[in-house]
Amino acid sequence: MEKTTLSIPGITCDHCVRTIKNELLEVEGVTAVDGDAQRKAVEVEFETPATLDRIRQVLKEIDYPAE
């Protein structure tokens, strides 16, 4: 299992964090998502078949691209 923290400048509130969490948890292989609106970051735990590229792609699709 891999764990990564992504900086997402578009996060402005807890609603943003919930939206990101809900979308990423739909990706097969993503096992946990935790976010912090003040830090503008999310921590994602994932395993195969999920990949960091796929996670970044989903974030871009929902208008929360990671830096």
- Whether domain 2-61 has CATH 1.10.287.70: the reply is no
Burial 17-50 (b: 16+ CB within 10 A, else e): bebbbebbeebeebeebebebeebbbebebeeeb
3-class DSSP state for residue 26? coil
Give the pTM: 0.93
Q: Where in the chain are the domains?
A: 2-61
List, run by run, the mean pLDDT of 10-residue segments along the chain (67 residues).
97 97 98 97 98 98 97
